[in-house]
Amino acid sequence: MNTEQICKELAALVQDERHCIPNMANAAALLWMKMENINWAGFYTVEREGYLLLGPFQGKPACIRIPVGKGVCGTASTQDATQLVADVHQFAGHIACDAASNSEIVVPLHDAKGNVVAVLDIDSPQKSRFTDDDKLMLEECARILEAACDWKPI
């Protein structure tokens, strides 16, 4: 996987589009195609009602709503920090949308005011699948999406 190439491709995909839904959809598809040993790639948006709502994704059907602060996605949103989890079965409060997932990385995305508005979630059936290089690449993808999208206030 060429990290720099993925970021360049994502930047080209979102270059002339400000709406977050198609940009997240294309980002999920790109990551699904380019990353190896993953079984889910997609987004959850932060909703006012205190939960994360399933957004564009690639992979098996997923949990539709995740309470803020619960699971890896909810933790990433409340802590406003990337969660790189080598073994999801060791993560307290892990929500198993797909029993085949063994490792996960979740990156928060922000609006122009710095509020967390979504999370990028990638799952793998392989334990310890995600590396620090993956973390840096996915955080750069998040920054590209943050800059490209007009996020609606939550």
Q: Is 11 exposed, middle or buried (0-12, 13-18, 19+ CB in 10 A)?
A: middle
| b/e sequence 73-110, b meaning 16+ C-beta within 10 Å | bbbbbeeeebbbbeebeebeebeebeeebbbbbbbbbb
pLDDT at 154: 52
Cβ of 17: how many Cβ atoms within 10 Å? 14
Euclidean distance between CA atoms 129 and 102, whole angstroms: 9
pLDDT 10s digits, 89-113: 888 777 777 778 999 999 999 999 9
The residues of the chain scoring below 70 in pLDDT are 1, 153-154
pLDDT at 9: 96
Return the DSSP state at 66: E
3-state secondary structure of 24: helix
C-beta separation of 59 from 145 below 8 A:
no
pLDDT averaged over every residue in the chain: 93
pLDDT at 6: 95
pLDDT at 21: 95
